[in-house]
């Protein structure tokens, strides 16, 4: 079997196995709101375009988008997060339910609002983003309840995704506790990190920083490129595998043996990169339990990211889309 044929077969096998995975997603949930409209004039009040809003749409965002992404693959998605005791928190629960994710893991708290990111889009271009959020730490009592629930679920899942957007949910040592428990249970953990918390990721099965985050972790102006630089950064962070996402340049994966797999991005028309990192995390976690290697799962995640960036906004890549992509590959 040729290399191309074997990769196509690998992809089909992994896609077929996605439905047998159960994935716990833990992280910062938010609502992504899109205000779309027409732009025909400039405001007389200031030199800014006037967007006449014709459509409003809300979707799960942040870690909630990862949870929806896992469900879209046909895997079982278990989601834990905190939202405000407000209308937006209830809205997020309904949005998740509509995408096949049980909203029962959303914990409503009194001392913070649900995070909402509102994007104003005119002529299919994002013109402005408005964020409503509270980035302070989640209260100690609520945090402890969240961790206890995660530890209860852990023995019943095949993989975990930690999606840390730095909104306060993962403060107070949540990540190290979860990683230690997952190691005891033998459950792989994919961490999509907050740049401020890279030093807490030791023990992760796969850490997925983007190029900017990897450069920051390496105390450099550019991300590590050579095999030696990547291997040193992996060892410095104490993770089993380091996967650096490089946008249009694909991704680089380095494991404990220092071997680096460089995965090309493929040529696609990039429409919107929003949600690409969430897609990588969701597909990696769902594929890992059936993959022969992290690099094999990463190749499928790379293809999923290529499908994601061809969509406007964060829209989960479905199992059907991956099946069609695998069929097209031969």
Catalytic residue among 158, 272, 278, 325: 278
Report the C-alpha dihedral over residues 265, 267, 273, 277, rounded to 10 degrees. -20
**Burial (0-12, 13-18, 19+ Cβ within 10 Å), 187:** buried
List the beta bridge partners of residue 244. Answer: 252
Three-state DSSP state, 292: coil
User: Which residue in the block uniquely carries the two structure tokens 């099965």?
Assistant: 205
Question: C-alpha 282: how far from its chain's center?
Answer: 6
Size of the chain, expressed as the number of residues it contains: 330
At 80, which helix (H) or strand (E)? Answer: strand 76-84
Q: Is 32 a catalytic residue?
A: no
Q: What distance in Å separates the CA atoms of residue 39 and residue 196, rounded to the nearest whole number?
A: 38
Sheet containing 115-122, strands listed edge to edge, beginning at the edge strand earlier in sequence: 49-62, 29-42, 115-122, 125-132
Phi, psi angles (nearest 5°) of residue 24 = -90, 125
**Burial (0-12, 13-18, 19+ Cβ within 10 Å), 56:** exposed
Q: What distance in Å separates the CA atoms of residue 311 and residue 81, rounded to the nearest whole number?
A: 26
Tokens of 58: 């809300």
Tokens of 26: 């833990």
Task: Encode burial over 297-324: b for 16+ CB neighbours within 10 A, e otherwise.
Answer: bbbbbbbbbbbbbebebbbbbbbebbbe
Q: What distance in Å separates the CA atoms of residue 96 and residue 114, rounded to the nearest whole number?
A: 14
Q: Which positions are annotated as active-site residues?
A: 278
């Amino acid at each position: 079997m040729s290399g191309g044929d074997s990769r196509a077969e690998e992809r089909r096998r992994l896609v077929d196995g996605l439905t047998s995975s159960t994935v716990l997603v833990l992280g910062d949930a938010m609502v992504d709101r899109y205000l779309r409209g027409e732009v025909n004039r400039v405001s007389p009040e200031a030199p800014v375009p006037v967007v006449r809003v014709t459509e409003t749409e809300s979707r799960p965002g942040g870690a909630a988008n990862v949870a929806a992404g896992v469900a879209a693959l046909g895997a079982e998605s278990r989601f834990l997060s905190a939202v405000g005791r407000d209308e937006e928190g209830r809205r997020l629960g309904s949005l998740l339910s509509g995408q096949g994710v049980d909203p029962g893991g959303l914990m409503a708290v009194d001392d913070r609002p649900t995070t909402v990111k509102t994007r104003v889009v005119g002529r299919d271009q994002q013109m402005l983003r408005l964020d409503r959020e509270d980035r302070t730490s989640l209260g100690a009592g609520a945090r402890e309840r969240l961790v206890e629930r995660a530890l209860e679920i852990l023995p019943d899942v095949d993989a975990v995704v930690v999606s840390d957007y730095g909104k306060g949910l993962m403060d107070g040592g949540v990540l190290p506790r979860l990683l230690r428990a997952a190691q005891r249970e033998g459950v792989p953990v994919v961490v999509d990190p907050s740049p401020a918390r890279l030093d807490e990721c030791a023990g992760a099965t796969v850490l997925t920083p983007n190029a900017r985050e990897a450069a920051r972790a390496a105390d450099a102006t550019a991300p590590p490129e050579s095999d030696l630089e990547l291997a040193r950064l992996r060892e410095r962070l104490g993770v089993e595998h380091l996967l650096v996402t490089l946008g249009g340049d694909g991704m680089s994966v380095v494991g404990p043996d220092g071997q680096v797999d460089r995965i090309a991005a493929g040529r696609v028309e990039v429409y919107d990169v929003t949600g690409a990192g969430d897609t990588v995390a969701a597909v990696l976690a769902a594929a890992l339990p059936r993959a022969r290697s992290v690099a094999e799962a990463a190749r499928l995640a790379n293809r999923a990211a290529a499908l994601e960036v061809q969509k406007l906004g964060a829209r989960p890549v479905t199992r059907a889309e991956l099946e069609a992509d695998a069929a097209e590959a031969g």
